[in-house]
Structure formats: C-alpha cells, structure tokens
Amino acid sequence: MSEHVIEELQRQIHRLKELSRNGLDLSEEIARLEAKLAALQTPHTPPAPPELDDWERVKLARHPQRPYTLDYIKLIMEDFYELHGDRLYGDDAAIVAGLARFAGETVVVVGTQKGRDAQENVRRNFGMPHPEGYRKALRVMKLAERFQFPIFTLIDTPGAYPGIGAEERNIGGALAHNIYEMFHLRVPIIVTIIGEGGSGGAIALGVGDRVLMLENAIYSVITPEGCAAILFRDAKKAPQAARALKLTARHLLEFGVIDEVIPEPPGGAHLDPPRAAQALGEAWQRHLRAVKGITPERLVQLRAERFRALGVFEE
C-alpha cells in the first residue's frame, strides 16, 4: 500500500520537476511533495517491545494463573461432557477427555490438566499423567473416529509421571501406543501446546494434522532443569539450558515442528484469558476448515509424511 503511494509521489515530483524546466515556478509544490515522500520513507513504526528471554517464557508457560485445558474448553467450546476411565485400570484426573460442541458440530477434546490450587493439584497430580490417563485419551479418540468427530488435543504437562506405579503399568508402552495409534485415526486431529509441552508425555498427545502453539508455550525433549542437571551438572543452570534447548514457539516454527504461533494478549494469556481463548478459537476454526475437506486416506497419509520428514542431518 505505502509502496504504491511512494511510487505515485515520486512520479508526481518527477513530472513537476520536468515542468519547472519550462520556466514555471513549482518549487513550493515540489518541496511539499518531497517532504511528504520523506515522511513516508522514514520508518515510523514504534519500536518493537524487547523480545522475551527464553527463560522468561518458560516462567510464563508455567504461570500458576495461566489458563488450563478446562478453561479453554469452557471459553471456546459448548456443552462439554467429560468422559472418565480407561476401562482397564482407573481414571486419571491429569488428563481430561470428552465430547463438546464447537463451530456447530460435535468434537472430541482431550488434554492434560493441571490443578489451580494445592488440593486440586494433588488430585490432578500437577498435570503429570499415569498410563491410565493416556489409555483413556486413546479410548476417547477412538470413539471420535467411530463417529467421525474431529479431535482437539491440548497439551500442558511437565511430563508423564515419574513413579513406581507408572513404570509397573508400562508408561513407556502407553506413550508409544498413543503415538502410533494417533497416526491411524481417520479423523482430523488439531494439536495445541497451551503451556508446557513436556517431552514424551506431550508427544503422546501431539500427533496431528495441525500442531499449534501459544506464543508463550514451550515444547521440549526434556525440562530445562533436567537438561541442566545432566549436561550442565547443575539444575540451577536451568535458564541457560532453556536458551540452549530452543524450546519456544518461535524456534519450533523455524524447525517446522509447528504450523502456527497463536498470539497471546500483552504480558501473557493469564492477564486476559478470554482474549487468548478468542485467538485460539479462531485459529481452531480456520485450521479445522482447512483439514475437513481432506479424505481420511489422504489425511493419515499426509500426517505420516509430515512427521516422517522431521529431522536434520548431514549427507
């Protein structure tokens, strides 16, 4: 737009200068246009706010007031009906799953869920699921496939729970099967990392046709603390590890791991949850529209090809 205006101004100035060679005094008019041109050519955008440090984003992603899965479901979807239990062992409150209405149709929504206070956090295990949580997620996602409901997954977990019971019930196998089975589901899957995308516990809900990420969310192979303890031999060096791991949405977009960064309100989603939810809901509608027309065969093929292509190496 402004380029067009600049070109037009330049043409006018040129014409006036040619005319003035014939004895006409157009200096005042020329000066006025040149001033206008100069103003247009000087960048007048306000200075961008300083880019947040990666560690600051980690803190925002973990902010105790940040909207969680159920908050977004409530703000974006309607008539959420939660389903419980994996039909094998128990119900894991660290993962919520159920039916809802979105954009005029029935959808299935699955997500990891943190607690808002100490009591709820005990019940929800700080958003760290056990195998039964992932098996419930898969059960409900298969229900979605049976009825051709699109699936939305929301990820906000420090990781799968490191505990004895989790290992006894083969948490590794549960994660593996979710990853594998999600490649087979013949319905659209839209993944969103809304807070912490913690390693295997995140990718086990992270296979989809679109992978979106909120601006201040993080997604990483290991927590900054874990990486610092192992590679830097000091968990206190987590800020340094956070920068080294390149775990922010912007980095992940560059790596081709995610499709879109959803902007958050200034200061973070916790300062204005409805506005954050509105941006997310709009993105969901847009991406759902884009993948809905694709045949199931093509959908699973594209999904596999997308992940098959990820990786960087030298020939």
Partner 1 sequence: MAIFGKKYFKVELDRVERKDDEALWMKCKACNELVFKKKVRENNNICPKCGEYFFLTAPERIQLLADPDSFEDISRPIVAADPLGFVDEDGQSYPDKIKKAQEETGLANEIIVGRARIGGYPVILAVMDFRFIGGSMGSVMGEQICHGMEQAAQERVPFILISATGGARMHEGILSLMQMAKTSACRKKLADARVPFISIMTYPTTAGVQASIASLGDITLAEKGALIGFTGRRVIQQTLKQDLPEDFQTDRFAFEHGIVDNVVKREHLRDELMRVLKFFV
Query: By the 8 A CB rule, do 78 and 102 touch?
Result: yes
Angle subtended by helix axes 69-76 and 273-292, to nearest 10 = 70
Q: Which of 36, 74, 169, 292 binds partner 1 (CB under 8 A)?
A: 169
Which region among 5-13, 65-73, 117-125, 301-309 touches partner 1 (by CB under 8 A)? 301-309
Least distance to partner 1 from the beta carbon of 93, Å?
Answer: 19
The reply to whether 299 sits near partner 1 by the rule CB under 8 A is no
Dihedral sign for Cα 140, 141, 142, 144, please.
Answer: positive
Which region among 32-40, 68-76, 174-182, 263-271 touches partner 1 (by CB under 8 A)? 174-182
The reply to whether 310 sits near partner 1 by the rule CB under 8 A is yes
The reply to whether 238 sits near partner 1 by the rule CB under 8 A is no
Which region among 107-115, 141-149, 195-203, 274-282 touches partner 1 (by CB under 8 A)? 195-203
The reply to whether 152 sits near partner 1 by the rule CB under 8 A is no
Q: Which of 237, 250, 270, 275 binds partner 1 (CB under 8 A)?
A: 237
Nearest to 302 by CA among 182, 189, 209, 186: 209
Least distance to partner 1 from the beta carbon of 175, Å?
Answer: 4
Q: What single letter denotes the amino acid at residue 238? A: A
Please identify, using beta-carbon distances, which residue of 73 and 204 lies nearer to partner 1. 204
- Written as six digits, the tokens of 247 are 């775990």
The reply to whether 160 sits near partner 1 by the rule CB under 8 A is yes
Least distance to partner 1 from the beta carbon of 277, Å?
Answer: 26
Least distance to partner 1 from the beta carbon of 61, Å?
Answer: 14
Cβ density class 230-257: b for 16+ within 10 Å, e for less: eeeeeeebbbbbbeebebbbeebeeeeb
Q: Which of 72, 152, 219, 284 binds partner 1 (CB under 8 A)?
A: 219
Rg of the chain taking only CA atoms, in angstroms = 25
Compose the 267-286 pattern: x for residues touching partner 1 by CB under 8 A, - for all others: --------------------
Please identify, using beta-carbon distances, which residue of 3 and 315 lies nearer to partner 1. 315
- Written as six digits, the tokens of 111 are 């997500």
Query: By the 8 A CB rule, do 169 and 129 touch?
Result: no
Which own/partner contact pairs does 252-258 have at CB distance under 8 Å and 24+ positions apart? 252/213, 252/219, 253/213, 255/312, 256/309, 256/310, 257/211, 257/219, 257/310, 258/193, 258/211, 258/212, 258/213, 258/219
Which residues are near partner 1 by CB under 8 A?
A: 160, 162-164, 166-173, 175-177, 179-180, 183-184, 199-200, 202-204, 206-207, 219-222, 226-227, 230-234, 237, 244-247, 251-252, 255, 257, 303-304, 307-308, 310-315
